[in-house]
Amino acid sequence: MKTDDLVSMLATGDVAVPLRRRRASSRMWLALLVGLPFSFVILFTGYGVRHDIVQAMFWPMFWVKVLFPLCIAAAGFVAAERLARPGVKPRNVWMGAVLPVLGVWMLAVIAWFTMPGEARMPALMGQSWRICAVSIGLMALPVFAAALVALRGMAPTRPALAGAAAGALAGGVGASVYALHCMELTAPFLAVWYVSGIAVPVLAGALLGPRLLRW
């Protein structure tokens, strides 16, 4: 749209109808459906599913590891869908991302102070701390890229927040996919390395949003 045309529209009140909620939601769902299969491709080709996955499904901490990132992803999805529409505030959606993190941190503190001293550092570092956050970021990348493309085709007026929301969606999905491979089950490990892995795309989205999502 040319600047003169935009000024004319604002002067006459003939402004385009805001982006509809259904369209924003549909585009975000499409981004998720496009990106998620590639995250699983990375999992299956580069990592593989843990060999005792069926047995692990009976352990409560396995589901904590899978579900707390999914809650963050859900909050990121709703926030991105709202921020894609001008004038729509995310309101308390961010609490949906914060509360799961606080819950895992609380579990980590309880576990830290109830386990023997010699068990604390192994519980925190595990066997895979070097690759955990990087792996989560790698599996989040397809959803992250697809979500940014979807947002770029809409009308976010707060691009940094919109980018951060896309990062929360992608980071949560990436962590949940990686959880199918990861052997770690201690709360201190999840509180540090999983949260760090999810935070990377959130920060990347906040930094890239103003550059990629401006309109």
* Per-residue tokens: 189: 């490990």
pLDDT at position 25 is: 87
Output the pTM of the full model.
Answer: 0.88
CB 147 within 8 A of CB 35: yes
* Per-residue tokens: 170: 């992608």
CB 185 within 8 A of CB 61: yes
Q: What is the mean pLDDT of residues 78-93?
A: 85
Amino acid letter for position 134: V
pLDDT category of residue 2 using cuts at 50, 70 and 90:
very low
pLDDT at position 20 is: 56
The mean pLDDT value of the chain amounts to 90
CA distances, 75 to each of 49, 50, 104 (Å) = 26, 27, 16
157: DSSP letter? S
**104-152 pLDDT per residue, tens:** 999 999 999 999 999 999 999 999 999 999 999 999 999 999 999 999 9
**44-72 pLDDT per residue, tens:** 999 999 999 999 999 999 999 999 999 99
- Chain centroid, CA 151 distance in Å: 15
Give the SS3 label for residue 144. Answer: helix
- On the CB side of 179, CA atoms within 13 Å amount to 25
Q: What is the mean pLDDT of residues 11-26?
A: 59
Q: Of residues 18 and 98, which shows the higher confidence score? A: 98
